[in-house]
Amino acid sequence: MDSGDRLAGLLKELKERSGLSYGTLAKRLHVSTSTLHRYCNGDAVPTDFAPLERLGRLCGASREELVGLHRAWIVADDARGRSGEPGEPGERGGGETGEAGAGGAGGEDVSAGSAAPAGVELPAGSAAPAGADVLGGPVVASKPAAGAPPPSRARYRSALAAAAVVALAVPGAHLVARNGDGEPAGGRNGDSAGVAAPAPLNAGISSYNWAEPCGQYYVLDQKPQHVPPPPPPQDTRPWARALGGIDGGHMQLQVTVTGRTREPVVLSRLHVRVVERDRPPAPAAYSMGDGCGSGITPQTFDVDLDPPRPYVKAVAGQDGDRVVPAKDFPYRVATGDAEVLNLDVHTEEHAVAWYLELEWSTGDRKGTLRLDDGGQPFRVRAVEGGTVYGYRPDKGEWVAQE
């Protein structure tokens, strides 16, 4: 079996297991049905991994399956590059000719077992051999010594590849099934005391910026001359992680919830839990791009982190001249039936650490699903009052914006 057939086999298996049609999946992935057919039949390999990651999460793939899917895509993409086959038109983000994305760079062999470049620390377990259980927190960049030259671009590309694989291996949600009195399900019986029963649904972050690249900023404790050029949109998050950055101003999260049972599971409410809130000095923020494009503005849940008690508010969308009405909770999911929730989380004044709790119920069971950033709170910091930099390709440098 060649590399393309292996990737197609994994995709087709996920698609069949989900019970969703090609049309339904394509609509939720924002690609054409024919494009999705080509991916699953092995007739085409996307030039970016992002659509395949979203497909995997939408179909309820486990973290191990996502890592395996990423490795299969790397091999298939490399084989296509060696054969000189063109990629799918219009599906690659920006980037310089000859530079690789998250899958590797310039002939370097980068995998989950690769060592991190100097100055970039990976979480414990992330340098394990292929197939190992990778658990740890986000990738953290060591601060460069004063006056030290910026790391080479090749080293940062290696960091991106390692960070991307680690990010896939870290779960985006923690499931806690609880009884009505808050006690873990199964905790009353001696055979499984304190152990939560399997939750009847899966959930995860299918996109960290569903409006990429417009309006996306990262706050970095770095001088502009030490910050490498921005990567293609699908690589911005691991790029920022490798530099020790956090989201600036807005986080546009896309949460995909899939049922695991034939019985419907009701999603009743979504709560915001703030862990820390502070008013830090004005930061330096780096813009990921100016092109915002046009098209459908999805139904959104707005979350303003500045009030003392933030809450989730349903907001209408826009499709051309047609207003798409806001749709609030409750929602319902079951086997083969998923819901995609778009959240616009923002702050204009604070640095905030926070996470989400999703309440669910089915029959006489109910519980809470925690959504966080791989076991850690999400973090976002206001950019108002600070210096915002945009990258000028013609000058090859970051320039302060007015």
Residue indicated by tokens 């292929």: 130
Q: Are residues 120 and 224 in the same domain?
A: no
The CA distance from 259 to 20, in Å, is 12
On whether the CB atoms of residues 342 and 298 are closer than 8 A, the answer is yes
Residue 147 is assigned to a structural domain of this protein: no
One domain for residues 190 and 319: yes
Q: Which among 259, 216, 257 is positioned nearest to 236, based on CA atoms?
A: 216
In a domain, 95, yes or no: no
Residues 208 and 164 reside in one and the same domain: no
Task: Identify whether residues 253 and 351 lie together within a single domain.
Answer: yes
Sign of the Cα torsion 139, 126, 95, 149 reads: positive
> Looking at residue 43, what DSSP letter applies?
S
**Range 166-176 burial, b when 16+ CB lie within 10 A, else e:** bbbbbbbbbbe
- In a 10 Å sphere around its CB, with 0-12 CB exposed, 13-18 middle and 19+ buried, how is residue 143 labelled? exposed
> In this structure, are strands 387-392 and 284-287 parallel, antiparallel, or unpaired?
parallel
Question: Taking residues 340-366, what's their average pLDDT?
Answer: 94
Strand partners, 313: 302
Sign of CA dihedral 311, 375, 210, 337: negative
In this structure, the answer to whether residues 12 and 31 fall within a common structural domain is yes
Q: 269: exposed, middle or buried (C-beta count within 10 Å: 0-12, 13-18, 19+)? A: middle
What is the pairing mode between strands 284-287 and 201-207? unpaired
> How does pLDDT run across 53-109, given as a tens digit for each residue?
889 888 888 878 888 888 888 888 877 666 655 555 434 333 332 332 333 333 333
Picking from 67-76, 198-207, 289-298, 345-354, which range would have the lowest pLDDT averaged per residue? 289-298
We report the CATH number of the domain holding residue 107 as: 1.10.260.40
Asked if 55 and 11 count as a contact pair (C-beta separation under 8 A), the reply is yes
* 53 shares its domain with 190: no
Q: Are residues 207 and 350 in the same domain?
A: yes
Domains contained in the chain, number: 2
Query: What region does 249 belong to: left with phi over 0, alpha with psi -120 to 50, or beta?
Result: left
Task: Give the rounded distance of the alpha carbon of 46 from its chain centre.
Answer: 18
The more confidently predicted of residues 82 and 351 is 351
Question: What φ, ψ does residue 52 adopt, rounded to 5°?
Answer: -75, -35
391 and 273 fall within a common domain: yes
Is the pLDDT confidence value at 355 over 60?
yes
Could you tell me if 190 and 65 lie in one domain?
Answer: no
Q: What is the pLDDT of residue 291?
A: 52
> What is the spatial distance between Cα 19 and Cα 320, in angstroms, rounded to a whole number?
31
152 part of a folded domain:
no
Domain-embedded: residue 316:
yes
Query: Is the residue at 131 inside a domain?
Result: yes
pLDDT tens track for 169-208: 444 454 444 444 444 443 333 333 445 567 899 888 888 8
Return the pLDDT at 324: 85
327 is a domain residue? yes
What confidence tier does 210 reach under pLDDT thresholds 50, 70, 90? Answer: confident
Closest to 122 in 3D by CA, of 152, 168, 166: 166
Residues 362 and 231 in one domain: yes
How far is it, in rounded angstroms, from Cα 269 to Cα 271?
7
Please name every residue paired with 256 in a beta bridge, in sequence order, or none if there are none. Answer: 204, 340
In this prediction, residues 2-7 reach a mean pLDDT of 77
Secondary structure (H, E, C), 198-266: CCCEEEEEEECECCCCCCCEEECCCCHHHCCCCCCHHHHHHHHHHCCCEEECEEEEEEEEEECCCCCEE
Contact 136, 126 (CB under 8 A): yes
Angstrom distance (rounded) from CA 402 to CA 388: 8
DSSP 384: T
- Res 361: pLDDT: 95
Strands 246-248 and 378-381: parallel
- Tell the residue number behind the tokens 């640095």, with chain if given: 351
Q: Which of 176, 175, 207 is nearest to 343 (CA)?
A: 207
Tens digits of residue pLDDT in 122-177: 333 333 333 333 333 333 334 444 444 444 444 454 445 545 544 444 444 544 44
Gap between the Cα atoms of 313 and 299, Å rounded:
11
Contact 117, 108 (CB under 8 A): no
Read off the DSSP letter of residue 335: B
Encoding tokens for residue 166?
A: 């680690």
Is a pLDDT exceeding 60 seen at residue 8? yes
- State whether 229 and 127 are in the same domain: no
Kindly give the residue spans of alpha helices, DSSP state H, lying in 95-171: 153-169
pLDDT of residue 60: 85
Contact 29, 15 (CB under 8 A): no
Count of residues in the chain: 402
The predicted structure's pLDDT at residue 299: 81
Same domain, yes or no, for 136 and 213? no
151 domain residue, yes or no: no
Is residue 149 situated within a structural domain?
no
CB atoms within 10 A of CB 360: 26
Task: Read off the pLDDT of residues 228-253 as tens digits, 9 standing for 90 and up.
Answer: 998 887 788 889 989 999 999 989 89
Q: Name the phi and psi angles at 33, rounded to 5.
A: -60, -40
Residue 161's domain comprises 3-90+100-142+157-168
Alpha-carbon torsion angle 272, 273, 276, 282, nearest 10: -10
Q: Mean pLDDT across the chain, nearest whole number? A: 74
